[in-house]
Chains A and B, each alone.
Chain A
Amino acid sequence: MGSHVPPEHIPTIEIDDHASSYAWLVMLRGPRRGRLYPLKPEGVSLGRGEANDICLDDESVSRFHARIVAEPGPSGLQFIVQDLASVNGTFVNGERITRQALKDEDRLQLGNTVLVFKQL
């Protein structure tokens, strides 16, 4: 196909400006399995308290448990998780961390809640 189409008619796909923020946390284990939490470039906070951007209904999660910030990286935005001195700790792929850069498919555990980091 396409042989009858004038060559100057090239479609351009406009990528939205916040394209680099196509990142999410997906709840794998917790009260809302399959729930998608978009990560904003300006950062999100996670915890049991309702003031958080991502509010986790889990008793083992501290009220202000962790936050995720975005920094410019070599290819788009780099998302970094920081533990906010939580009682039960923040784990990435089973290891307790205080500050850790996230990559696709990383398992983030807060209390009994498991989230997976996804980026497009």
Chain B
Amino acid sequence: MDPSLSLPLILIDAWFRWGIAIGMAITLVAACWIFFDSQRRSLQAGVWRVISLVCAMVVAPSAVLFLFPELASGMGNMPLLLGYLGALATLISTISLILYTAGVGVVEGPLVGVLEEDPLPLPPPADSTTATNQTPPAPMINGRVSASSTTSGPITPPSAAPSPTPPLAWLVVMSGRFAGKEYRLGALTDIGRDSRYNDISIDDPAMSRQHARIRFESEGFVLYDLASVNGVYVNNRIEQRRRLEHGDRIIMGQTLFGFMLVRE
């Protein structure tokens, strides 16, 4: 090695004395923290995960040379190069950790395999009449459901082509804190607990993060269960797919909804 390069030599000497330990520690901590923290908080931080992992891998050869110095004898300038790379990787890893923590480029989104916070399974709801009888204005549920379903005919004639603009329809919350709130239904409406992926998000722990979907199709509004834990009940029957009619009562989790449709 060239004795005139004193500063690099000092640096590389420092690197192989104690720098590797610090570099290895920083890169490993950064890689583990970014990986597990982003998984725990369901964040998509792919860039920072890759960078921190690569940095840890770049520092690793220096650590091997540090532990087995006899390997370095036949490698010429390689240890020097590895030392520079290791120091650089430590720097990059530190920066990526800071940027990740600051939330730069982090996207909130679903991570495959994160199942920690799905709701507890519930038994099928008891006939809602038994539940509603406890409250004074109960006859609503008993009488209106059957009455309205007989009066409401097909939404569109069978021959009609799928309408590009859905008719006026709302999903109405009829229980809990948000009772009375109406949500206008469009061509596609997703319902669940998580406001990040749903058009209608209800703070109901018994509801799945992505619970159900209502799509406007040629036959009308159709409700789909999105493989929810506690299922979707329409007029007290569990349903996977169901065409909705005005007055239908829908239970998702522990929340009761009413379906309101204007026929035109």
Contacts and interface: CB of A to CB of B under 8 A. Distances in A.
Interface of A: 1-2, 4-7, 9-20, 22, 24, 26, 28, 34, 36, 38, 74-76, 104-105, 116, 118-120
Interface in B19-48: none
Contact of B251 (A13, A17, A28): A13
Contact of A11 (B254, B258, B263): B254
Interface stretch (B54-62, B75-83, B138-146): B138-146
Given A19-B132, A22-B140, 16 more contacts: A2-B123, A9-B123, A13-B256, A14-B131, A15-B174, A15-B175, A15-B179, A15-B256, A16-B175, A18-B179, A20-B140, A24-B260, A36-B182, A118-B246, A118-B262, A120-B144
Contacts of B121: 1-2, 4-5
Given A11-B206, A76-B137, A76-B143, A16 B123 contact: no
A50 to B, nearest CB: 24
Determine the main DSSP class of A at the interface with B.
Answer: loop
A2 B142 CA distance: 25
B29 to A, nearest CB: 41
Interface residues of B, number: 46
B161 interface: no
A17 B256 contact: no
A48 B160 CA distance: 38
A104 B132 CA distance: 22
Interface in B107-121: 121
B247 interface: yes
Nearest to A116: B262
Contacts of A75: 139-140, 142-144, 147
B179 A16 contact: yes
Contacts of B175: 13-16
Given A10-B123, A10-B126, A38-B180, A17 B143 contact: no
B170 interface: yes
Nearest to A119: B144
A14 B151 CA distance: 27
B108 to A, nearest CB: 30
A13 B144 CA distance: 17
A34 B200 CA distance: 18
Contact of A18 (B125, B180, B247): B180
A19 B140 contact: yes
Contacts of A7: 123
For the complex of A and B, the 5 pairs showing the least CB-CB separation, nearest first, are: A16-B179, A75-B143, A20-B137, A120-B258, A5-B123
Nearest to B124: A2
B158 interface: no
A19 B135 contact: yes
A28 B168 CA distance: 9
Contact of B131 (A13, A17, A34): A13
Contact of B184 (A9, A19, A34): A34
A17 B123 CA distance: 25
A13 B260 contact: no
B248 to A, nearest CB: 9
